[in-house]
Amino acid sequence: MSQAMAEQEARTIEGELRALGENLIALLRATLESEECRSIERALISRLEQVNQQLTEVVENIRARYQNVQAGVREAWETAHGPQILREVELGLADSLHKINEAIARRARPSPAHEATPSTAAPEPPFEKPD
Q: What is the pLDDT of residues 24-76, one digit of tens each?
A: 999 999 988 999 989 999 999 999 999 999 999 999 999 999 899 989 888 87
Question: Which pLDDT value is given to residue 39?
Answer: 94
pTM value > 0.75? no
Q: What is the pLDDT of residues 54-66, one digit of tens each?
A: 999 999 999 999 8
Question: Which pLDDT value is given to residue 77?
Answer: 72
CB neighbours of residue 30 within 10 Å = 10
Find out whether 130 and 96 touch, Cβ atoms under 8 Å: yes
Question: Which pLDDT value is given to residue 8?
Answer: 66
Spell out the residues 6+ positions from residue 92 whose beta carbon is closer than 8 angstroms to its own.
130
Question: Which pLDDT value is given to residue 49?
Answer: 95
